Amino acid sequence: MFREMRRIRQALSKEEISSVLYRGTSGVLALSGDENYPYAVPISYVYDGEKIYFHCAKSGHKLDAVQQNEKVSFCVIDQDEIVPDKYTSYFRSVIAFGRMEVIKDEKEKLTAIEKLAVKYAPNDTAIGRKHMIDREWASFCMLKMSIDHITGKEAKQNTEP
């Protein structure tokens, strides 16, 4: 169903893929948009080792796209070092393919937003995070991506073309 990576020697291990997803702070979420145009949107996220979580407003293009087609892909670029004298770049990236759903269960939504809050405000207190979550609770929803397939790739010096 999913294509095999052509340059298999550049493939990242499962551990390296997880490291990229844990370390990353943003990526590009690709959805099926209006009139079958692809819709790719930069977005922050949190990865918990199994699922990828995103937040969004309760209405808008992203949410409409998810509700029309649950299949999505998400790409995180971990490194992109331009090497002008070789006309290339040394990169490291991960692409996940999966299915997106709106989290309806209030407890699951709270757990997901807490994971996001801890990632992006790690020095805040639990009380501070709770205050911010309570303040914004009514205006946002949480999305959960279940991963069906994931690949990671790295191009670097001495890697076969």
Domains of the chain by residue range: 8-102+143-155
> Rounded mean pLDDT of 5-20?
88
Q: Give the integer Cα–Cα distance in Å for 22 and 11.
A: 18
The pLDDT value given to residue 80? 81
The pLDDT value given to residue 159? 44
The pLDDT value given to residue 153? 92
> If 0-12 CB within 10 Å is exposed, 13-18 middle and 19+ buried, where does residue 70 land?
middle
Q: What phi, psi does 71 have (nearest 5°)? A: -75, 130
Residues constituting the chain:
161
> If 0-12 CB within 10 Å is exposed, 13-18 middle and 19+ buried, where does residue 54 land?
buried
Domain 8-102+143-155 falls under CATH 2.30.110.10: yes
- When the pLDDT of each residue in the chain is averaged and rounded to a whole number, the result is 91
- 78: helix, strand or coil: strand
Q: What is the pLDDT of residues 57-111, one digit of tens each?
A: 999 999 999 999 999 999 999 988 888 988 887 889 999 999 999 999 999 999 9
Helices (H), the chain: 14-23, 61-68, 106-120, 126-136
The pLDDT value given to residue 138? 87
Confidence of residue 161 (pLDDT cuts 50, 70, 90): very low
Residue 158, pLDDT > 90, answer no
Q: What angle do CA 54, 76, 16 make, to 5 degrees?
A: 110
The pLDDT value given to residue 81? 81
Cα 88 to its chain centre, rounded Å, is: 25
Q: Give the integer Cα–Cα distance in Å for 116 and 142.
A: 10
